């Protein structure tokens, strides 16, 4: 009996080993963990009540909780009362939504918008917009298959464009010494780029640094892009969320268009409407005239159809209800400003605590001068490691924090912990 059982067990093990060796996926290697996901997993496993998660790229209210905008709740009621069906959207999405998304981005005074020369499609949030844009440029932009990204940039930019078939290169952006914009390096690298290459620009609230060019610097960048005949591709994921003013946050996009640039634009409504899980976005291109727009529209459909066929409908209906109702739009603008103002207030409180109260070594002015959800603190990997291990404060190893994770209940503890880490006393 024992011998037979042992034989059966041995045979089973041999069989399992054989199956593994014959598996089609036996040579697949484990990929590297996502750095943000790793931060969140470590945070969730921590049982200390003082723990803080500063890795997540989503807004949190003053109590550290996810926030559903009241304007979004009203829009959901409007949509529900209409008893809409669940039919497929067209390939390019909800037409009323894309029309209003273009108006929000380009502004009522935009000449290409007034002339009917902006080709636009709904997308699966900002990521989907970037992917559509990358695929379209790889297939149809005739002058270059090289795209320049700022260094650093959002971690997903490189795989999105590489998977689209573009060659990814970088241009200087962030100065670690000043924890600010390396404007001279940026200009030099754009001037050194081959003519007609594609350049990705963060329209506002640069992710991950929170460092934006001034309006005067944007004008200089526009001139260089024109001089070098570069093709500008804007990623605008934070319109309204950066400064609290949708027009101010769209300055770069609108200025470039006013100067005659044919731009590409990726929009997201995840941050500024809190529609993270609804996946609402848009991709657009400025064309020469309505006839060219029609041809571009047709090719966008050909790109999108085998990618995901058509976009989800619910989030587009919510965003459209807000953008299409004057009172609700005004309420939404106030709520976006409220979110931006809370983050700005956290920046001011953190700066005051580190500089005036704790006298933390170093220069911390960048905490206030940076804008948007994220801040590059200047903390080293050693600092972030000890903050996680000793203070239960979680962020990415490069010192990037989500300012939305700070609130009146935890900012004092965070500042004291940073101070102790910098002084080597944690």
What residues act catalytically?
154, 235, 271
Tell me the sheet residues that pair with 402: 374
CA distance 418 to 209: 18
Strands 280-286, 264-268: pairing kind = antiparallel
Q: Is residue 400 a contact partner of residue 60, using CB atoms and an 8 Å limit?
A: no
> What ranges in 169-280 are assigned the alpha helix state H?
183-192, 215-227, 246-249, 251-258, 270-273
Residue 232 neighbours by CB under 8 Å, 6+ apart: 199, 201, 225, 256, 261, 263, 264
Q: Is residue 97 a contact partner of residue 75, using CB atoms and an 8 Å limit?
A: no
Sign of CA pseudo-dihedral 162, 165, 170, 173: negative
- Alpha-carbon torsion, ordered 375, 37, 46, 419, to 10 deg: -20
- Write down the residue that tokens 């045979």 correspond to: 11
Burial (CB < 10 A; 0-12, 13-18, 19+), residue 121, is buried
CA distance 306 to 67: 35
What DSSP character marks residue 66?
B
Read off φ and ψ for residue 278, nearest 5 degrees: -85, -20
Token pair, residue 70, equals 């009241």
The H-or-E segment that residue 389 falls in is helix 381-391
> What ranges in 141-181 are assigned the alpha helix state H?
157-163
DSSP string, 268-322: E-HHHH--GGGTEEEEEEE-SSHHHHHHHHHHHHHHHHHHHSS--SHHHHHHHHH
């Amino acid at each position: 009996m024992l011998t037979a059982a042992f034989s059966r067990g041995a045979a089973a093990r041999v069989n399992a080993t054989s199956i593994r060796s014959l598996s089609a996926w036996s040579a697949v290697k484990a990929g590297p963990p996502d750095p943000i996901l790793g931060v969140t997993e470590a945070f969730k496993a921590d049982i200390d009540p003082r723990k803080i998660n500063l890795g997540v790229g989503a807004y949190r209210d003053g109590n550290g909780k996810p926030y559903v905008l009241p304007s979004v709740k009203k829009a959901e009621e409007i949509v529900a009362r209409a008893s809409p069906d669940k039919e497929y959207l067209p390939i390019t999405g909800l037409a009323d939504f894309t029309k209003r998304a273009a108006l929000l981005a380009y502004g009522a005074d935009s000449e290409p918008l007034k002339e009917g020369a902006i080709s636009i499609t709904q997308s699966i949030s900002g990521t989907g917009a970037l992917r559509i844009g990358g695929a379209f440029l790889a297939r149809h932009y005739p002058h270059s298959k090289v795209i320049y990204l700022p260094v650093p940039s959002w971690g997903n930019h490189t795989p999105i464009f590489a998977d689209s078939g573009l060659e990814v290169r970088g241009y200087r952006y962030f100065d670690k010494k000043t924890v600010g914009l390396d404007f001279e390096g940026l200009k030099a690298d754009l001037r050194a780029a081959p003519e007609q290459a594609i350049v990705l620009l963060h329209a506002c609230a640069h992710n991950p640094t929170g460092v934006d060019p001034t309006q005067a610097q944007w004008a200089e960048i526009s001139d260089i892009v024109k001089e070098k005949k570069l093709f500008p591709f804007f990623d605008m994921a934070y319109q309204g969320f950066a400064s609290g003013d949708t027009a101010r946050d769209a300055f770069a996009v609108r200025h470039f268009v006013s100067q005659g640039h044919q731009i590409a634009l990726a929009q997201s409504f995840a941050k500024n409407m809190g529609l993270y899980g609804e996946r609402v976005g848009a991709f657009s291109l400025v064309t020469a005239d309505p006839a060219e727009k029609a041809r571009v529209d047709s090719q966008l459909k050909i790109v999108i159809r085998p990618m995901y066929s058509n976009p989800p409908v619910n989030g587009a209906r919510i965003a459209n209800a807000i953008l299409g109702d004057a009172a609700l739009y005004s309420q939404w603008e106030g709520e976006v400003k409220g979110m931006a103002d809370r983050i700005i207030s956290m920046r001011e409180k953190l700066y005051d605590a580190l500089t005036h109260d704790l006298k933390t070594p170093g220069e911390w002015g960048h905490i206030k001068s940076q804008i948007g959800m994220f801040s590059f603190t200047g903390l080293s990997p050693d600092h972030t490691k000890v903050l996680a291990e000793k203070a239960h404060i979680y962020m990415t190893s490069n010192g990037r924090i989500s300012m939305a994770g700070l609130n009146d209940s935890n900012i004092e503890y965070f500042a004291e912990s940073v101070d102790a880490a910098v002084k080597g006393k944690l």
